[in-house]
Amino acid sequence: MPDKKEYKVLIVEDEDSIRDVYKEYLTGEGFIVEVSSNGEDALEKIKTFDFDAMLLDIMLPKTDGLEVLKRIKSDIHYKDKVVLLLTALGRDSVIKEGFELGADGYLIKDQENPDDVKKNILNALKKVGK
């Protein structure tokens, strides 16, 4: 299939269960997946892992998701990468803040199933022409 390009996805999520499920499903769907459980580790990982898209939880220990987003989008190396925010909260004012910082979209964890997550990643990549 033409869209079977092996996209690289970094999942930044501190909740093991959610992280593992996404990883399992996306790997099964042909993505190359790396994971991170906190903001600092994520910022370290992207130096070596050339990701296409990032799933970024907003509430993270140490450096929170919005801070990670800010640093990525203000860095010339990463600013064109797709970043989808993961939130437990649903529509909230924090999402608006995320968009202002350059997020490409957001996913509400209890409302989107793993397949929705995949579709959202592909849509967002398509939008930026990847």
CB of 129 to other proteins, least distance (A): 25
| CA–CA gap between residue 89 and residue 96 (Å, rounded) | 13
- Asked if 38 contacts 14 with a C-beta cutoff of 8 angstroms, the reply is yes
Which of 27, 61, 74, 113 lies at the binding interface for other proteins (CB under 8 A)? 113
| CA–CA gap between residue 117 and residue 26 (Å, rounded) | 9
**Residue ranges in 22-41 that form contacts with other proteins under rule CB under 8 A:** 22, 24-25, 28
67 binds other proteins (CB under 8 A): no
110 binds other proteins (CB under 8 A): yes
Which of 8, 63, 70, 89 lies at the binding interface for other proteins (CB under 8 A)? 89
125 binds other proteins (CB under 8 A): no
- Asked if 87 contacts 58 with a C-beta cutoff of 8 angstroms, the reply is yes
